[in-house]
């Protein structure tokens, strides 16, 4: 089963949901704003995708961080930040077996999910 991780009221998430539904791809949605994110999952994403990719540096959550936190960011700190401030994670994260997709990219979705 494909798992989609994100926040329900995000525009990028809505695009991903629409694509999945139009292409009849079954999935389970994990709203990490409500259900949280654990260290094992966050560490796995960081190890596979890199913290620089998983952490959304364009969002308001990143912009609100103090400079010291931003300047000392590394994989370990990113995991802790992801757990305490889930909205820092780029959305969606899609997990299908060993495949992990980050963000909304219809071409990647078609290649890996269909």
**Catalytic (active-site) positions:** 10
Euclidean distance between CA atoms 16 and 21, whole angstroms:
9
* CB atoms near residue 102 (< 10 Å): 20
Cβ atoms of 104 and 19 within 8 Å: the answer is yes
d(CA 114, CA 11): 23
For the record, the structure tokens of 26 come out as 């079954």
CB 22 within 8 Å of CB 102 = no
């Amino acid at each position: 089963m494909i798992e989609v991780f994100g926040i329900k009221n995000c525009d990028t998430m809505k695009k991903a949901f629409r694509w999945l539904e139009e292409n009849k791809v079954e999935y389970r949605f994990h709203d990490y704003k409500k259900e949280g994110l654990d260290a094992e999952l966050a560490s796995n994403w960081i190890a596979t995708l890199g913290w620089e990719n998983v952490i959304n540096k364009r969002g308001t959550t990143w912009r609100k961080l103090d400079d010291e936190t931003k300047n000392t960011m590394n994989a370990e700190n990113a995991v802790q930040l992801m757990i305490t401030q889930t909205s820092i994670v780029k959305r969606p994260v899609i997990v299908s077996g060993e495949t992990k997709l980050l963000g909304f990219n219809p071409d990647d979705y078609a290649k890996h999910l269909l």
